[in-house]
Amino acid sequence: MQELINRAKELLADGTVARVLGYKAGDLPYNPEPAYFESAEELKDFVYNGFCGANLSKYMIEASKLEGKTMVFLKPCDTYSFNQLLKEHRVDRDKAYIVGVGCKGKLDIEKVKKQGIKGIQSIKGADITDDAQILTIQTIYGEKTCSYGDAMLERCHVCKGKEHRIFDEQIGESKETKDAERFAEVERIEAMSPEEKFAYFRSELSKCIRCNACRNACPACSCRKCVFDSNKFDSSQKANVDSFEEKMFHIIRAFHVAGRCTDCGECSRVCPQGIPLHLFNRKFIKDIDELYGEYQAGADTDSTAPLTDYTFEDAEPSIVGKRG
Amino acid sequence: MSLENKEFKPKIVAFCCNWCSYAGADLAGSSRLTYPADVKIIRVPCSCRVNPMFILRAFEKGADGVIMCGCHPGDCHYSTGNYYARRRMTLLFSMLDYIGVENGRTRVEWVSAAEGVKFSETMNSFVEKIYSLGENVRLGDLRCKS
Amino acid sequence: MYKIAKENLSALFQLIAETRELYLPVKTAGQTNFAAWSKDAEVDLDTLKTVKSAKDAFFPQSEGLYTVKKEGKKMSIEPERLKEQEFVVFGMKACDVRGMEVLDNVFLSEPVDTFYEARRAHGTIVAMACHEPEETCFCKVFGVDAASPASDVAVWNVGEALYWKAQSEKGEALTEAVKELLTEADEDGAAAVEAEKDAIHKIVEKLPYMSLSLEGWNGDALSEKFDSPVWEELYKPCLACGTCTFVCPTCQCYDIKDYTAGNTVSRYRCWDSCMYSDFTMMAHGNNRTSQMQRFRQRFMHKLVYYPANNDGMYSCTGCGRCVEKCPSALNIVKVVKAFQNQGGEK
């Protein structure tokens, strides 16, 4: 972490960047918030640890509108989002100085709490220089331990790889965290009967409170005015008054980002109700891979997206019923 | 066509492109070919105009089945519209299948202006399918049912 | 005071449900929220905080107001009926109960909200003392006692039993209705409850947010707080989602909307969030045009405007849900602290 701070100080001092976009220490051991730093003095609050899970590429949309360069710390998966935004002309490459930070997997405090650990006072083992094996947690109710892997976000278990897709320099080591198949859960659902599928999504989506956290945290959801916010259109619903609306919202949102979603997992991370929203996006990704050839959004900045492309031989929609 | 289920009158929405399928429907009409009155046609400039939201809206407002018809691939009035539509609908239908909406409720058929017979046959078979599936209860808004 | 063994709880719920509607924390797909009780529902009284607060039971996320029907050339308007059925909300916490007091001040003062009033009249609140408060809790800062909820019935969770104490007329009535399952608590029981209260108070003292000072936050601080440059820095991580407002026990803003379904139009209201760009949208446009203004609105309302109109009562209960759920780890505690620090530096 000190390395990141030192580098930030250097670049601020020599005027390469006007500000630094990173994380500020929170008031609990696990709640650092994304923040801008404009001076060496402000950097005293800088922090970068396992709980810095937010995808800062999303913030670069706003940062690109500011005067001067912004130094930003991106983990490998964030760089996919940055590439995708670059392709869509939503961020400015010249306004960004990208430090690719090594990643040993990001932590989900909800997963720690699900293990019955509460009254958390301090957490050891979450720093990026730690070996990411075990978390030692001091709580009001005594000391607890938790394996790092068990506390990791879902997305880290199916990590796309620790290679930064775009960067100006790299700092820090990474550690392989992939220990599950990316599409396993999607396949599990596909194998269900229509009744089971319906019941599964009904139960998950009935929790949706339409807070729009998934949309607002999503780097692919970068529309200035969302169709679900437009008061000139009856799609603007603030509550799921009927069970139809939760499906409408999530299907359309997933569809709008289909072919552009890098599978960064922010939607699932931020959902206050723990809805596995990535299962929608991943279904589209899986279908695209199977039907139109493997495609990873954000892997590059010049390929044609699957939904703005076609071939004469594309599968007919009737294939949906024919596949197993 | 078997119509044992007399109670159930399905509502079926057919999005037809202006240049081929709508003309195909016209031809079916002028050729006196029959298709069930349960099918309500909505004319769109091109199959590519059909936004996934249109399909969901149709279901919301009470449709039991939605079918989209356009020019045959390669024959699009705008050259390539239906190629894009094909990908979109494939993904959307796959998603609907994924969340447990019966797959038979959605269909895409390519119907040219000369295929009055195909239009009539397509609609007949689609309506029959919807009859066999029964009322759409998984993707509608209850407020529209009363 | 009465006592009921934990193993008899399902019998208790069944008995209550025979004469009244019953809402309690139910786990659905891994998350616990207040929901109607049924035999198959997975009741979860161990989770300290439901994701959404219990305000849904009195002020639902969406509720119908009236329906306009068209039949031929005739139009008819059917108002939504007010709540007439008695109901019980079981398992609220002291902070949620305070949340109801905050909502009462808004909805029960002139002009009275009849929908809310009816629900309040027919609802009985059974609240549980917080067995093991968590690090995100700061109810004591707002004068809420986690060990003694100010509800119709207060319940303490001690060992294998729950201790039950009616604290109002409605509470007495409910106690009467379920008396067959309750046994009179003896002196040991009373002592156990006192010990539990003490234990809770001791834990509360250890919580990290206990030292939070609200000094300077009151109705008189309006201009000083409103014009502060601190907001410009604070709001930046905010993604403008509505999570904080929707999980909050005291957020009370709503929007009124129409839904057209062919021959009927239903008018309903649903929660709105001051974080949304179309919040309080009017014909001329919007009052608050930047996210900074929207962000400021939320906290000014909780800590300045509301106390100014309600004898100094804050419209935050310290439940800590926003602390847990904000995607950007922002929350009301950070706001209060940011102002404190700024005061210190000057």
Per-residue pLDDT tens digits for C319-334: 999 999 999 999 999 9
C17: containing domain: 2-206
Look at residue C318 and tell me if it is in a domain. yes
**Whether residue C228 sits in one domain with residue C176:** no
The answer to whether the beta carbons of residues C124 and C153 sit under 8 Å apart is: yes
Identify all chain A residues contacting C208, using CB atoms and an 8 Å cutoff. 27-28, 121
Domain-ending residue, one of C206, C227, C246: C206
Nearest residue in B to C265, CA atom = B143
Closest approach of chain C CAs to the CA of B137, in angstroms? Answer: 16
The answer to whether the beta carbons of residues A263 and A298 sit under 8 Å apart is: no
- How high is the pLDDT of residue B141? 85
Closest approach of chain B CAs to the CA of C45, in angstroms? Answer: 31
Identify all chain A residues contacting C327, using CB atoms and an 8 Å cutoff. 54, 213, 216-217, 269-270
CA distance A81 to A75: 10
Look at residue C287 and tell me if it is in a domain. yes
**Whether residue C108 sits in one domain with residue C9:** yes
Site of tokens 């193993």: C7
With CA atoms as reference, report the closest residue to B47 among B24, B15, B11.
Answer: B15
Q: What is the mean pLDDT of residues A156-168?
A: 95
The answer to whether the beta carbons of residues A282 and A263 sit under 8 Å apart is: yes
Query: In chain B, what is the straight-line distance between the N-terminal and C-terminal CA atoms, in Å?
Result: 29
CA distance C253 to A261: 33
pLDDT-derived band at C346 (thresholds 50, 70, 90) equals: very low
In the predicted model, is pLDDT for residue A16 greater than 80?
yes
Q: Which residues, in sequence order, are CB contacts of C322 under 8 Å at separation 6+?
A: C243, C244, C247, C248, C330, C331, C332
Look at residue C94 and tell me if it is in a domain. yes
Number of domains, chain C: 2
Amino acid letter, residue A213: A
CA distance B139 to B142: 9
- How high is the pLDDT of residue C285? 85
Going from the C-alpha of B142 to that of each of A198, A245, B62, B134, C86, the distances in angstroms are 17, 11, 9, 16, 26
- How high is the pLDDT of residue B1? 45
**Whether residue C133 sits in one domain with residue C40:** yes
Interface of A with C in 75-104 (CB under 8 A): none
- How high is the pLDDT of residue C344? 47
pLDDT-derived band at C343 (thresholds 50, 70, 90) equals: low
Instruction: Flag if C270 and A241 touch (Cβ within 8 Å).
Output: yes
Domain-ending residue, one of C176, C206, C236: C206
In the predicted model, is pLDDT for residue C29 greater than 70?
yes
Strand order in the sheet with B39-44: B39-44, B12-17, B65-70, B106-110
- How high is the pLDDT of residue C261? 86
pLDDT digits (tens, 9 = 90+) for C265-298: 999 999 999 999 888 888 888 889 999 999 999 9
Write down all domains in chain B, each with its CATH number in brackets.
12-144 (3.40.50)
Q: What is the mean pLDDT of residues A16-38?
A: 95
CA distance B83 to B79: 9
- How high is the pLDDT of residue A239? 83
**Whether residue C125 sits in one domain with residue C239:** no
Q: Is A154 on the interface with C (CB under 8 A)?
A: no
**Whether residue C149 sits in one domain with residue C35:** yes
Q: Is A80 on the interface with B (CB under 8 A)?
A: no
Q: Is A324 on the interface with B (CB under 8 A)?
A: no
pLDDT-derived band at A105 (thresholds 50, 70, 90) equals: very high
**Whether residue C104 sits in one domain with residue C246:** no
Provide the 8-state DSSP code for A287.
H
Domain-ending residue, one of C153, C181, C206: C206
Interface test with A, best of B90, B107, B129, B136 (most A CBs within 10 A): B90
The answer to whether the beta carbons of residues C115 and C82 sit under 8 Å apart is: yes
Identify all chain C residues contacting B61, using CB atoms and an 8 Å cutoff. 261-262
Query: Beta-carbon neighbour count of residue B126 at 10 Å?
Result: 25
Q: Is C259 on the interface with B (CB under 8 A)?
A: yes
CA distance A240 to C56: 14
Look at residue C212 and tell me if it is in a domain. no
Provide the 8-state DSSP code for A243.
H
Q: Which residues, in sequence order, are CB contacts of A206 under 8 Å at separation 6+?
A: A243, A246, C28, C29
Q: Is C338 on the interface with A (CB under 8 A)?
A: no
Q: Is A223 on the interface with C (CB under 8 A)?
A: no
In the predicted model, is pLDDT for residue B3 greater than 60?
no
CA distance C293 to C204: 34
Amino acid letter, residue C154: A
Nearest residue in B to C268, CA atom = B143
Look at residue C266 and tell me if it is in a domain. yes
Residue C58 burial class via C-beta count within 10 angstroms: exposed 0-12, middle 13-18, buried 19 and up: buried
pLDDT digits (tens, 9 = 90+) for C177-230: 999 999 999 999 999 999 999 999 999 999 999 989 999 999 888 999 999 999
Q: Which residues, in sequence order, are CB contacts of C286 under 8 Å at separation 6+?
A: C277, C278, C279, C280
In whole numbers, what is the pLDDT of chain A averaged over residues? 93
CA distance A214 to C240: 11
The rounded percent of chain C whose pLDDT value lies above 90 is 88
CA distance A206 to B70: 36
pLDDT-derived band at C345 (thresholds 50, 70, 90) equals: very low
Look at residue C290 and tell me if it is in a domain. yes
Q: Which two tokens stand for residue A250?
A: 């999530």
Identify all chain B residues contacting A230, using CB atoms and an 8 Å cutoff. none
Chains that touch A (3 or more CB pairs under 8 A): B, C
pLDDT-derived band at B6 (thresholds 50, 70, 90) equals: low
The answer to whether the beta carbons of residues A314 and B106 sit under 8 Å apart is: no
The answer to whether the beta carbons of residues C296 and C231 sit under 8 Å apart is: yes
Question: Nearest 5°: CA angle at B23, between B18 and B27?
Answer: 165
CA distance A137 to A30: 11
CA distance A74 to A102: 9
- How high is the pLDDT of residue A245? 86
**Whether residue C133 sits in one domain with residue C74:** yes
Closest approach of chain C CAs to the CA of B142, in angstroms? Answer: 9
Instruction: Flag if B141 and C261 touch (Cβ within 8 Å).
Output: yes
The answer to whether the beta carbons of residues A36 and A20 sit under 8 Å apart is: yes
Give me the residue from B61, B62, B143 closest to C266, CB to CB.
B143
Look at residue C250 and tell me if it is in a domain. yes
- How high is the pLDDT of residue A1? 85
In the predicted model, is pLDDT for residue C300 greater than 50?
yes
**Whether residue C191 sits in one domain with residue C85:** yes
In the predicted model, is pLDDT for residue A231 greater than 80?
no
Q: Within a 13 Å sphere around the CA of C309, how many CA atoms are in the beta-carbon half?
A: 11
Strand order in the sheet with C153-158: C31-36, C21-28, C87-92, C123-128, C153-158, C161-166, C2-5, C183-184
pLDDT digits (tens, 9 = 90+) for B24-52: 999 999 999 999 999 999 999 999 999 99
**Whether residue C35 sits in one domain with residue C161:** yes
Q: Is C283 on the interface with B (CB under 8 A)?
A: no
pLDDT-derived band at A324 (thresholds 50, 70, 90) equals: low
pLDDT digits (tens, 9 = 90+) for A33-78: 999 999 999 999 999 999 999 999 999 999 999 999 999 999 999 9
CA distance A56 to A118: 28
Q: What is the mean pLDDT of residues C107-118?
A: 96
**Whether residue C153 sits in one domain with residue C8:** yes
- How high is the pLDDT of residue A235? 67
pLDDT digits (tens, 9 = 90+) for B88-132: 999 999 999 999 999 999 999 999 999 999 999 999 999 999 999
Q: Is C294 on the interface with A (CB under 8 A)?
A: no
Q: What is the mean pLDDT of residues B80-86?
A: 96
In whole numbers, what is the pLDDT of chain C averaged over residues? 93
Q: Which two tokens stand for residue A76?
A: 């490998």
**Whether residue C120 sits in one domain with residue C31:** yes
Question: Helices then strands (H, E): number in chain A?
Answer: 12, 8
In the predicted model, is pLDDT for residue A238 greater than 90?
no
Amino acid letter, residue A106: K
pLDDT-derived band at C3 (thresholds 50, 70, 90) equals: very high
Identify all chain B residues contacting C264, using CB atoms and an 8 Å cutoff. 143, 146
Interface test with C, best of B141, B143, B144, B145 (most C CBs within 10 A): B143
The answer to whether the beta carbons of residues A148 and A51 sit under 8 Å apart is: no
Q: Is A210 on the interface with C (CB under 8 A)?
A: yes
Question: Nearest 5°: CA angle at C46, between C45 and C48?
Answer: 95
Look at residue C251 and tell me if it is in a domain. yes
Instruction: Flag if A207 and C61 touch (Cβ within 8 Å).
Output: no
Q: Which residues, in sequence order, are CB contacts of A67 under 8 Å at separation 6+?
A: A18
**Whether residue C281 sits in one domain with residue C201:** no
The pTM for the full model equals 0.94
In the predicted model, is pLDDT for residue C73 greater than 50?
yes
- How high is the pLDDT of residue B146? 63
Instruction: Flag if C61 and A239 touch (Cβ within 8 Å).
Output: yes
